[in-house]
Structure formats: structure tokens, C-alpha cells
Structure 1
Amino acid sequence: MKYNQPYGVSDTNAPYINGDPSTGQMGSIPPAASIEYPQREIVNFISDNGLATPDNGDLHQLSKGIQSGLTQFGVDGGVVNQMSLNPTPALTAYYRGLRVYILAATSNTGATVLSINGLTFKPVKRRDGTDLKANDVTAGSIQLYVYDGTNFQLSGAGMSGGAGLLTQNLDIYVNYAIGNDANDGTANDASHALKNIQRAISLAYIYPPSQYTITIHLADSASYTGFSTPYWSGPNIKVTGNVANPQNVVVTGQNTHACIVSGVNTLTCEGITVATTNNAAGPGGGFIATNGATLFTNNTRSGYCTGAVFEAYQANVNIGVHTFTGNCGEMYWSFLNGLISWNDGTTQTIANPITVGSACAYATQGGAISVPPSRFTINNPGNVTGAKYYAGMNGTIGTSGGGVNFFPGTVAGTTQTGGQYV
């Protein structure tokens, strides 16, 4: 509806004026349209929102129409990954800021498009600009879609409490040789695979915690750089490389750790080799869990690490089969109430001569290193040069009866300041 100026006035934006008998000023004459059209528009709005017949006995029908929201609501009549709806009144063009709530007919399986009233299909994107993931749209859900001038954005997609809740396990693919971090990670090919592990972690942490697992698959490469999780709670993450040949997937911490899981999060690593750059500044460890996190490893290897290969800092590290091939500060280091433990019956192999800077097993400031009752096998213990263990400042090392020579090394272990070795 346009503005209808006073009758007989050519200025389309002319104001209405009151008459003044004392001066002989004539008042504006309202044209019929200025009375009829606003009424028609209000009546149409009431009708478009599915309310009862407009009634002079109810002067709150306009408010009720706004409350109902039916002009911004539609039921999906499309097919999987191709949504379509026909709200009333019919839309004749998309405009930036258009908002519509949609009752989904089906759950999506990937990238999705949307058409309203037969207009051109437009892509639906997540909040980070990427295509939708499987089950971002769930059958029977009502979700908000906002047009940004190019795409529809699914409000809340990937946010805790909104769309993007995991309803099944999810796979993300990383391939350093052919990947691109602008891809979506949904397949191991040049059009989809990511290049860096950290980008995969970032995509995974769009999802909130759940009982499902996101598996990050690493193609063979010796060029991956270190990665870390955020501190906030996210989904269960599994990073898997080449389980049969973990030496084919090398993750190197560039002047920092190679793999860090932090906060109340769980991470599993398998089939990878960790290392740090030589003479790296800072701690430069291999597999690190901090601040309440839990880290599981199996079928892994390590090259040179400036710090510890396995480190638990106020967190838990559970170790499976592992092969050491490079010098390190410590093979196992637990501090500030951290816990390092092993799977029953696992093996630890020292593939070639290595030197430990501090000790093979190092527990301090309440940290604990706990060997399982069945203990584990250490292959080629004679390849380790350095101290067997150190326990200090109430740190404890329990060998389940393995004795003072359980851990390898050429120098006897020591305890001090409340440290215990049993």
C-alpha cells in the first residue's frame, strides 16, 4: 500500500492539515483510498494469518495475526535436500533479511537448496558458510531460514541447542596432498577433502557434545602440522591415520605440541606418528592431554620430541601399542594430578637407540603413572639411554610389582620430596 495524499493535491508526499474556521483555512479532504486501503491491508493480514473472519467485535485481530506468525511459516513440500514451500501471501522475489520458519518433511543427507513459491532454488548454508551436513534438517522439525542476499542461512546450524545436533557418527576427511581447507571434508577427493587436521577439528567442534563420534580420517602424508582441541566441550573425536603403517602419517608440532586435547573432551588417536621440530621452543610434546581431558592412543609412533612423548597435565592419557623412534625429554610425564595408564597386555617398542633427557617415566606435583596389573611388554629396553624414572613432589609411579628396573634406561631412577615409586 502506498501513501495516499489529500484529495486534489499533486504532491504525492503532501501532509494532511486541519481546517481553521478562524482564519478561513480549509482542511485536507481525505480521498476514499486513504480510508479504504489501510483497512483492506489490515483485513488481508488478518486473513493471511488464518484467523477468523475479520470482526469489529474483536479489535485485537491484528495483534493476534502478528502472534500467529503464519505469514512467515511454511510446510515443506519438497524432496530430500530440495525443500519447497508456498506460504501466503505468495512471495514474488527474494529479499535480503527474508525470514521463514519451515516445518521439514524429510531429513537432509547433505547440501540442500530451498525454493519459495516457485522462485529459483537457493543454497541453504550453515553459519560458517559451508553446505549443510547430514541431519542439519530433521524431519518434523521447525527451523528458521534467513535469506542473506545470496543464500538461505539455517539459523543455529551447528550450534549447541540448535540444528546440527549429531544424530549419527560423522566422518571428516583430510588429505594434505590434494585437500583444501575451503572444502567441506565430506570425502577423500580434491573437491571435498581438507588439507589440515586443525581445520577438521574446527569443523568438528561446530557440533555440541553427544554420544556419537566424529572420525577424522588422515591420508598418508609426512607433512601434517600439530593440532589442538578447544577448551569448551565438544563431540567425541577420533583421529585415525594408517593403522597398519603409522609411520606413513606424520604429525609434527611446529615449535609446540603435536597433538593436544584440552578441557572436558575425549580424543582417540590411532595410526599416526607424532614429532616436534628440532630444538622447538616451549614444551614440544607428542600426545598431550590437559585440564580434564581424556586421550586414548593405539598403534602409534613417535619421532623426536623436545618434551614428553605422552603427557598428562590435570588429565588422563591411556596408551595402547606404541613405537618410539626418536629422542625425547620423557617417554611418559604426568603432573598436577594427571594420570598416565596403559591398556592391559599392550606393547611399547623402542625401535632404535634413543636418549631421554629427564627420565623414561616422570611423575611430579601429584601426577600418577599407573602400570596395569598385567603390566605391559617393553621391547628392546636396552635402546634407551637416560634415567629410568623420577618421582617427586608427591608424584607416584606404580609398576604393579615390576620393580626398579621395569622402565628402561641406563641411569637408576630417583624419588624425592614425597615422590613414590612402587
Structure 2
Amino acid sequence: MQRSHRDRCLLIHIHTPGSTADDGGEEFQQLAADTGAEILGLWTVSRARLDPATCVGSGKVQEIADFVRANAVDLILFDRPLSPIQERNLERSCAARVIDRVGLILDIFARRARTHEGQLQVELAQLDHLRTRLVRGWTHLERQRGGIGLRGPGETQLETDRRLIGVRIRILRERLARVAAQRATQRRARLRAPAPTVALVGYTNAGKSSLFNVLTANDQYAADQLFATLDPAIRRLSGNGPTTLIADTVGFLRDLPTELIAAFRATLEEVGQAQLLLHVIDAAAPDRDAQILAVENVLAEIGAAGVPRLRVFNKIDLLGEEVRERVDETGQVSDLWLSAHSGAGVARLAEIITQRLHGARLRLRCTLRPEAGALRARLFREAAVLEERFDSEGSNHLLIEIDQQTWTGLQAEIGAESCQREDLPSTMRP
């Protein structure tokens, strides 16, 4: 059932010296608009130093309070994280609900998470955020400061709420751990098959899902809005070439809440386990460089900074540019300009993916000694094991498929005499 009431919102964008990625609040305004709120205004507040009590200072708080009363504002949204004390002081002074950037993003994620795992992840992030803000709403807790007639049971109530939230967080983490174990099992099953994975990463609304649909001939939901899709999807690269899996992931954002990164860590493990990252970039974005940096920061935080990548500059149709590419010092294509909307350059992207992942793959029959259990585990981790059998003496015979670079690193450990090369099927030849 859709809500008939739309929150009347005032947006507060805070500019501080040294803000290199300040877009004037445009992205924040779009986030607020995506919730369906009625936006009454966007105020930009310049501060040399953030006030620890109210973030914006007492004078600006009074201006906000006057506007709230005159315009029947329901909600004040701040474009930066606020401390619990700042939120409480602002709500008291302005007589309206106050939500910071973290709370707004969490609300959007809660609206758009469709899978069971996504809903669990968002609820966990919301509770982690709420746990430090329980003082809000419990005005009777002011009696804790002591004095005649000011003592009461408020502390007991607060402790009860914290305990209940703690119990729920523990249950959610246990459920997510089970889901993560299932995902790890599925990932191991994929690694046993000769099908490398390519993960699409990038800033939200860069066009990842649109590109995913074109590459896989799929109909994943895509829209011109921030965080249009949250739930990961894995499909096969379309065409008659070798099997390649394409994974679409949640979009990144500047100042992405740490609660969300922690909650979605299991989902983002697909990124760290991929053989190639496609960093999809909105070529028409005015703050393109800041978006690229934000994505690189998140990749580093989730441990995926070392995964090989190809930068894909999308939406060249908005700039009137042609398909082009840039080659690095090793001769590999490092940057490609295309348009997922028009399809220009997508065929070239599929060709580059196939060359990068299948151009130098080997199929080998290896024999391991019975005591080489650690080496066997490493082969299962770093190669695609197609067959495995044990002989009467306990030796292990494996048929593996592995890329040339990985094999070069393992060859000395395994021993060239223990492995014989086989011809790849015609569909797998470069």
C-alpha cells in the first residue's frame, strides 16, 4: 500500500574548505528525490569548522527552525554524517525530524532491496546505525541527570532496547553467515568449471546494469536513478565464444556508510574473487574524476585493489564521442569508450574480455604425490579443475584449466614433468 503523505523536506548541504568532491548538493538532492519526498529547498551552508553540538552553528540553526515553522517542514536532511548528539540537538531546536546522509542512503537501500539476502544486509546496517541513536525519542531519559523528582526507570528502558537490538543483530549476522556459506559453495562450484568471472563495478548510476543487460542479453532492472539495482546478478556472456560469467554488483557512492560496506561485504566478495573487473565510469558526469576515486577507495577497502581491471567509459552518446580505446605499456587495452544505450563499442568490449580471459589459457593433466595436499588445494583455488581421480598408489590425477600467468607462478612448485599439456576444445582456443 503506497503512502499518501509525502514528507516535506529541507535539504542542508554543508561545504567545508578542502572539499575536493563538492558538487553543490546535486547528488544529495537526487538521493532525496528518489525517496519520493517533496523538496522545499536546498540550502548550502559554508563552515570553516563543524560545530560539535549542531554541525552548523546556533545562528544557522535558528534560521532553519524559522523556515521549518513557516513552511510546515516534516524532515530535515543533512548531506553529511551527524553524531547522535547533533541529531538530538537539531531535532529539539527545529521541532522536526533530522536524518543525516547515512540514514537517507539506508532508507533508499531498504526500499529497493528485493532478495532475502539484500533485505537482511540492509536491516543489519540499519540496526547498527540505530544502536547509537536510541536516545532519540526517549525524552523521559532526561531524568537520568539526577535531582529531586528527576529519577526514573528510563535507563532500564534504554538498556532493554539496546539488548533487543543486540539480539536481533546477532540473529541477522548468523543468517547472513549461512547465506555467505551458501554463496561460497556456489563460487567453488563455478571455479571447478572453466568459466572465469568478470565483475562490473562502478559509481551508482554509471550504467552498470544497462551494460550488464547488453553483454548478457538479459533484462535486469535498470533506471536512470541512484541505486536502481542493489541485488547482485550473475549471467553468461552472450555469444558463441568461450563461457564467461558476468556479475553485476551494487553501485558505490562517495562517503558510502561503513555500516553498508560491512553488511554487503559477503556480496562484494564476488568482486574480490573475479578474474577481471570492469570499472564502469559515467563519461558524461561533471565530477567523473571524484567518482573514479570513490570507487577505487571502496575497492581498496574490500580488498579488491589488486584484481586486474578494464576501465569502461560509458555514455559517450551524451558527449557525441566515438568509440575509442587506450592501450597500456604491456599492449593490453586499459580504457574503452562506449555506449551501453546505443550499443556502440559493446561488441569490442566482449572481444577484449574474451582475449583477456581466454587468450592464454592452458589445459593440463597433472599428477600429484599423495602428500601434496596443500598443492592440490591451491590448484582448486587458482585453477579450474575439470577432472580428478586417484590411482591405487594414492597419487592424484587432475585435469585442470589455468591461465598462463598463474601457471608460470605454479610451474616450479608442481614440476613441469608432472604435467602434460592437452589441446583445448575449439571453442576455447584464442
Question: TM-score when scaled to structure 2?
Answer: 0.26
Q: Which has the higher helix share?
A: 2
Structure label with greater radius of gyration: 1
